[in-house]
Structure 1
Amino acid sequence: ILLSLLLPRQNRLRSEIEEALDMGLLKQEAEHGALNVPHLSKYILNMMTLLCAPVRDEAVQKLENITDPVRLLRGIFQVLGLMKMDMVNYTIQSLQPQLQEHSVQYERAKFQDLLNKQPSLLDHTTRWLSRAAADLSAPLPSGPDTADAASSACSSPGEVANSPEPLSPTMVLSQGFLNLLLWDPEDDEFPETLLTDRARLQQLEAQVRQLTVLASVLLVSSSFSGSVLFGSPQFVDKLKRLTKALLEEFKCRPEEEAMLTVSEQVAQEIHQSLKNMGLAALSSDNTASLIGQLQNVSRKENCVRSVIASPEKSSHRASGAVLGSGVETPQLLVLTAKAVG
């Protein structure tokens, strides 16, 4: 171990250690009972003091006070192991500039070799990026506003429609990561290049799902609370903390079960807050409608949840049957985003 702590240029010290710790000679001395253990231990400790990093000086000094040969030998090997680790770290740090300079080219070359041997190695990654590019290239859903814009554009024959913005690799990659946050757990075609990060991405996905549900609850609640009550920061913060606490409590249970409790608690909170502010309390029909709409948030195909999860759909008006108000979706989304934040 001592020899492994030497630098290549320390040839004289290497020869000295090899001579002092000649295994053949030490074996003969031990067989004839002539092995001077204290002298040998002192020599090793002196070498350790010479070769160790300053941080190990105290540990080596403690070894000098040990008189029991067994404990001393065990302590020497323990400290030598630490010194060897120090040497490894020093070597890595000294080689770091060279490693950084050539690592990218080396990894790229090795990766290309793997692809040449296994052309289908990144099929899932290719499909993942292709899907992201297709999502970015897909036209926005048509609606009344877009139809009016299109008709006005067609009415000017001299105007030429602007071509869509070309997709950059950064845009495609960003869209791909957004898609991963909504990844179906049953989909086995997870990108090969991100398998080691799948656990972290699943944690982010759970956070996004919770925020989506939270924003959906606030969005639905806003249409039943009225502008006066929902305009109160204290009420919105209380509603947000209540919903988040219930979702955390029921995160290990089915989402439908959690939303059943959330809907009842939120409806009760809105009803009580309206009464406390001297406003008209929720009728039994409105309460039942509110609870029903909040429970439906647990469904992925829920209209409100789809609006929250798909920003490109926020340019349309939300259905009055869904939200119970004539407020445009973008305004509600801005209001909800402020509340969630």
Structure 2
Amino acid sequence: MAERQNEEISEQSEENDEVQQKDQQLELSGEEEVLELGSIAASPGRNATFEELLQAADLVSNMSLVHEISVDKDFKLSPTVLPENSLEKQLRDVMHKAFWDSLQDDLHEDPPNYNRAISLLGEIKETLEMLILPQNSKQLEELNEKLDTQLIRQQAEHGVLDVHQYASYIISLMAQLCAPVRDEEIEKLKSFTDIIDLFREILRVLDLMKVDMANFTIDSLRPHIQQQSVDYERNKFSEFLKTQQDGLEMTRKWLTTVKEELATSDQPDAGVAVASRVSPMKIINGAYIKLFDWSNDTQFPETVIMDQGRFLELRDQLRRLTLVASILLITYTNVGVAISGKKGLPSKLKKEIKILLEGTNDDAAAMLNIGEYLCKEVNESLKESEYQILDSANQETLKSQLQAVADRNHSVQKLLDSRAKSFMLKMLSARGKFDPSQHVPPGLKTVEKEIIEISTRFQKLVVHNRQVYGPFYSEIISAMQSTEST
């Protein structure tokens, strides 16, 4: 039974987003050093306890990286920026200052002590070697010839070492290797005359170039990783489960709750087993939709923890979008046909409503400003179209209704929220080609572009998750049905 269910899950996932998988294993060992996995942050808002368990199993870095690259086409690494006044930043700054002060003292000795400078040139050489692509063998040969550590040390011993000359070569090579976005940084290096300041800046720009190289590597590997990510993530999660007594506890509760809710809502006919009426795919898709109602205080299911931040972000965006749609619906219902055909007005009102709602968690307070704005804007539009404007009584009625709709339990908000989720469920359940613009529910047409954008992002996350964890879901649902049939 579990195998048949898994086939159903895999079939629908492939129809939504075909992923071709190959037999070879994903090998990331070579890239891990380049990408400096320890500095990579995964999805925001993940459950800390579960992440600690993954880290204890030595799985989180690779699994998180593969997942991020697979589901986020814009995933990039950024240079590490330590918080101001943090202990880590203070320690780093003290250590860096001590190094550069010592280097300056060494170079000011008579005769100069070049030991620290030679070590620094060696470190720079290693970084440049990493930035040179394998096919550029001539550049690598030239680097080894120009920054020959043994020759540099001999020049220092004979007092003929020209550090500025080596710096000039390093800058010229960096100009050849850097991405266009770093051209201005490289050009600035040529203006430094103090050798300490110059090498300090060289190291800073090299750090940026390392991040650029890492992102270039990610872009190059992305197609390969996306092809392999389903098997890779599933295998890593299986390894994690072996370290736990019950690593699917929250996932099981999640699916069980949804199944029970669906069974109740379906109201099966007498004599028909509940288990036979609620299909595995209906349970799974319903479980994903339930994430839109997830509380911040409730632990996320283990199988969706990697995307907890994304799912919660989509949840918040949907809540805000249904509020905007509710405001527009109430406004147009109150004013009627007088403004319904006004070209460009819905977009103008929607844009301003979003701005007035931004940066506040108090929707009721924001609604005061929104009510004032809408009354003013609607009356101006009515006047332009030579319709009678809203009198004081009608304006107060509109403001009162808008104030009431700020409550998430308001009937209009609840209705549009339900329609939005039904729309998303339809997208998840669709087989073959599906044009979302043809299925946007009434009341949400004013936010059609936004609801389709949210639904599309949600669908992509679900398809990937369903492909990775489908076998685990099938096993859990099969166990539920087996228990009920006994």
Q: TM-score, with normalisation over the residues of structure 1?
A: 0.55
Q: Which residue of 1 aligns with 2:414?
A: 306
Q: Which residue of 2 aligns with 1:180?
A: 291
Q: Which residue of 2 aligns with 1:128?
A: 254
Q: Is the 8 A contact 2:255 2:287 kept in 1?
A: yes
Provide closer, same or farther for how the CA distance between residues 95 and 307 of structure 1 changes in structure 2, counting only shifts above 3 A: closer
Provide closer, same or farther for how the CA distance between residues 204 and 73 of structure 1 changes in structure 2, counting only shifts above 3 A: closer
Q: Which amino acid aligns with 1:340?
A: V
Q: Which amino acid aligns with 1:114?
A: F
Q: Which residue of 2 aligns with 1:215?
A: 325
Provide closer, same or farther for how the CA distance between residues 241 and 63 of structure 1 changes in structure 2, counting only shifts above 3 A: closer
Provide closer, same or farther for how the CA distance between residues 218 and 134 of structure 1 changes in structure 2, counting only shifts above 3 A: farther
Match of 1:242 among 325, 349, 364: 349
Provide closer, same or farther for how the CA distance between residues 92 and 41 of structure 1 changes in structure 2, counting only shifts above 3 A: farther
Match of 1:34 among 158, 172, 175: 158
- The alignment covers a number of residue pairs equal to 288
Distance 1:303 1:112 in 2: 44
After TM superposition, give the deviation of residue 131 of structure 1 in Å. Answer: 4.0
Q: Which residue of 2 aligns with 1:190?
A: 300
Q: Are 1:229 and 2:338 an aligned pair?
A: yes
Q: Is the 8 A contact 1:255 1:298 kept in 2?
A: yes
Corresponding residue SS for 2:253: helix
Distance 2:126 2:370 in 1: 68
Distance 1:77 1:173 in 2: 51
Corresponding residue SS for 2:412: helix
After TM superposition, give the deviation of residue 100 of structure 1 in Å. Answer: 7.0
Distance 1:265 1:107 in 2: 50
After TM superposition, give the deviation of residue 297 of structure 1 in Å. Answer: 0.8
Q: Are 1:21 and 2:21 an aligned pair?
A: no
For residues 21-170 of structure 1, the aligned pairs below 5 Å read: 21-22=149-150, 26=153, 33-34=157-158, 36-38=160-162, 105-139=231-265, 164=277, 166-168=279-281
Percentage of identical aligned residues? 29
Distance 1:91 1:312 in 2: 39
Bigger RCO (CA 8 Å, 6+ sep): 2
Q: CA RMSD in A?
A: 5.6
After TM superposition, give the deviation of residue 196 of structure 1 in Å. Answer: 5.2
Q: Is the 8 A contact 1:63 1:72 kept in 2?
A: yes
Q: Which residue of 1 aligns with 2:363?
A: 255
Instruction: Return the index of the structure with the highest Cα Rg.
Output: 1
**Unmatched runs of 5 consecutive residues or more in structure 2:** 1-122, 271-275, 423-440, 449-486
Corresponding residue SS for 2:241: helix
Q: Which residue of 2 aligns with 1:293?
A: 401
**Unmatched runs of 5 consecutive residues or more in structure 1:** 142-149, 155-162, 315-332
Q: Which amino acid aligns with 1:229?
A: A
Q: Is the 8 A contact 2:171 2:186 kept in 1?
A: yes
Distance 1:51 1:269 in 2: 57
After TM superposition, give the deviation of residue 247 of structure 1 in Å. Answer: 4.9
Distance 2:378 2:221 in 1: 64
Q: TM-score, with normalisation over the residues of structure 2?
A: 0.42
